[in-house]
Structure 1
Amino acid sequence: MSNTGLSMYVCLFFACCFCCSRAMPTRVNQEAVNDRPVIGVLTQLVSDEVMKPFGRTYIPASYVKYVESGGSRVMPIRLTLTTAEYENIFRKINGLLFIGGAADLETSDYARVAKIFYTLALKANDRGDFFPIWGTCMGMQLLTVLVAGENLLTKTTAENISLPLNLTTEADSSRMFAGLSEELMKALAQEPLTGNFHHYGLTLQTFQENEKLQNFFTVLSTNVAENEALFISTLEAKEYPFYGVQWHPEVNRFQWDRKLNFPHSSHAVQLSSRLAEFFVEEGRRSLHHFDSPEEDASSLIYNYTPVYAGNFSGYEQVYFF
């Protein structure tokens, strides 16, 4: 081949490579991932007289550790801010956790603030701005109130007891349980892996009679209360990344009061770990972010010191605000 021919061949070769590289990206439809997620945790109003000297609102440290163990950081969200401030926070965080506790689910500040974030999350997800919400115990109850537009809870006491879940046929195909092994799913249905500490809940009958709830949620499990009422213990939204558990996955690894039936078996620990990782993985799909590293750092739970609270309802540590 002549020098002229060789030069033309080389030029054509590199031109082809250049065009092909532009036409065929190495990552097709690669979904963006946020590797520095921040999950907001809505604080609870202090109602216990023993706790009042420490602050107005609180978060048990077990919830913080639970979220952090999944690979996220935590931002505490107070109940005393303006709507504009909550809207600003929403644009910074990558998910929201409604914790358990005690509050009026229609008239309290907790309910008011939760509704603001819930409405923002609905609108964001509708326009393709992914934003997950998780509700634990009262947090799950709150989600049902927000969806139904009314409080439909009834007495379903399951206090200080660990239970297996009565999984529905939809559980195997759910997003929440998708990462659980066959062994762990079997254990979940047969072993007491879920700690229950509640007096109210949503019965399956009430759910089935309410069109709003049926259209919004898929029931993943049920359980039987002390009064024989069949209550919903796990659910997830059909079209939104919203999840609820009537039980407490955080206690399996982070609460140890001997007087309380916290499940600490190997399978219980695995369950807690997998669900924390699942929810944080959902948070990674949110691309919300703080405006600066300084704003980021000043907003996180690291700026607060938990109080040892051995006598506070089974909590070893509590953050007060």
Structure 2
Amino acid sequence: MSCYDDCVSLNFWFQLITMKGVLIIIAAYFLYFCKGASRTFNVQSNVLNDRPIIGVLSQEQSIYLHSKYPEENYTSYIAASYVKDIESAGARVVPILIGKDRRYYEELINKINGVFLPGGATFFNQSNGFADAGQHIYDIAKELNDAGDYFPIFGTCLGFELLIILASGRDKIENRIRCYSYNNLPLNFTRDYRSSKMFKETPRDIINILKTKDVTVNAHQFCIVDENLKSHNLTDDWRVTAHSNDEYNVEFIASIEHRRYPFYGVQFHPEKSAFEWKRSKNYPHSFEAVKANRYFMDFFVQECRKSRHSFASATEENRYIIYNYEPRFTGVLGSAYHQCYFFEPRGTVSYK
């Protein structure tokens, strides 16, 4: 064989090896890409989690109820109506305690499928309290969603206000205004509300009830108005879907949602129509009121079904679930809440 033939042969084998290397690299690239795409698709796929577990954030105990259980010295609580509302929509509840470090919230959030921020009567400036816990949850949830890990939050009344204040950047001057509304009201939907995530599939009969009947329960002395969104440059991130008017005709935001994240809020109390019974409060208990208010938790639980988080085992799940706690009949003690769950002593209570 001549030198020329040897060179041709070597060149042939060199090209073949080079082509194989390129093909292997291309195959490895597509294998990795497709696997990554599959992971992303699974987060957003239609394969839903039919065993959702939702965390409900506790808050500082009121002095009034604290005085009813002096020996136990309970310092945080969750109204049972929120738990019942979630359970009625087909999910279970894990209490999230206040006063913990970020690691506690990170570990718990990676086991549950969403967080509910309840209404109540506590301040946002108490150290290691409701607002600080909410800050941890809000930041962690944003990080998860930015990474493609679908994780919803829903805030009611105080919880809704907290969401907007957290989005505003907490400051000594809170981004909300005084607003007095203790009536049952209809919703004044925005013109484009039907293209929102929360209301795009709402049945017509429920929309009609919410539009025309006094069925949303309001019980707040603060509220968020459109100007609060504008003053803190939140209009690009948050979308208003409905308003209502307080006793002094102040138009406040009644429902809102984040444009990118699955974060939602309502100023009113959907849970009260079905689960709170204090006569002096005049909550609407009609069939229409219960039916219309039922929609909001049904919607949120369906959102939580998109999360694939889970506990490591049934044993671990059982250690966290709210069934480990016994609700107390607080309505008979004069509380606005019919029943409450109480949690560990921490040494401080709310001044409200």
> How high is the TM-score relative to the length of structure 2?
0.80
Checking the alignment, whether the CA contact within 8 Å between 1:68 and 1:74 is kept in structure 2 is yes
| Paired residue type of 1:250 | E
User: Which secondary structure state, in structure 1, belongs to the residue aligned with residue 339 of structure 2?
Assistant: strand
Aligned CA RMSD, in angstroms, stands at 1.8
Q: Partners of 1:84 and 1:201 in 2: how far apart? A: 31
Q: Partners of 1:295 and 1:312 in 2: how far apart? A: 36
Task: Determine if the alignment matches structure 1 residue 206 to structure 2 residue 204.
Answer: no
| Paired residue type of 1:191 | K
Checking the alignment, whether the CA contact within 8 Å between 1:132 and 1:240 is kept in structure 2 is yes
Checking the alignment, whether the CA contact within 8 Å between 1:156 and 1:225 is kept in structure 2 is yes
Which runs of structure 1 show a deviation greater than 4 angstroms over 4 or more consecutive aligned residues?
none
Work out which of the residue numbers 70, 83, 89 in structure 2 matches 1:64. 83
Residue matched to 2:191:
169
User: Which secondary structure state, in structure 2, belongs to the residue aligned with residue 180 of structure 1?
Assistant: coil
Structure 1 segment 131-146 matched on structure 2, within 5 A? 131-146=151-166
Structure 1 segment 1-321 matched on structure 2, within 5 A? 30-52=45-67, 53=69, 55-108=74-127, 109-150=129-170, 151-159=174-182, 161-211=183-233, 213-310=234-331, 311-321=333-343
Q: How many residues align structurally?
A: 293
The offset of 1:180, in angstroms, is 2.1
Q: Partners of 1:313 and 1:247 in 2: how far apart? A: 19
Checking the alignment, whether the CA contact within 8 Å between 2:115 and 2:153 is kept in structure 1 is yes
User: Which secondary structure state, in structure 2, belongs to the residue aligned with residue 113 of structure 1?
Assistant: helix
Change (3 A) 1:106 1:170: farther
User: Which secondary structure state, in structure 1, belongs to the residue aligned with residue 329 of structure 2?
Assistant: strand
Bigger radius of gyration: 2
Q: Partners of 1:88 and 1:32 in 2: how far apart? A: 24
Checking the alignment, whether the CA contact within 8 Å between 1:221 and 1:232 is kept in structure 2 is yes
Q: Partners of 1:30 and 1:121 in 2: how far apart? A: 19
The offset of 1:261, in angstroms, is 2.3
| Paired residue type of 1:128 | G
- Any stretches of 5+ residues in structure 1 without a counterpart? 1-27
Q: Partners of 2:189 and 2:148 in 1: how far apart? A: 31
Q: Partners of 1:178 and 1:215 in 2: how far apart? A: 20
Checking the alignment, whether the CA contact within 8 Å between 1:170 and 1:218 is kept in structure 2 is no
Identity %: 38
* Bigger mean CA deviation after superposition, 281-290 or 218-227: 218-227
Q: Partners of 1:140 and 1:305 in 2: how far apart? A: 27
Q: Partners of 2:213 and 2:222 in 1: how far apart? A: 23
> How high is the TM-score relative to the length of structure 1?
0.87
The offset of 1:210, in angstroms, is 3.0
Change (3 A) 1:295 1:222: same
Higher strand share: 1
Q: Partners of 1:316 and 1:111 in 2: how far apart? A: 24
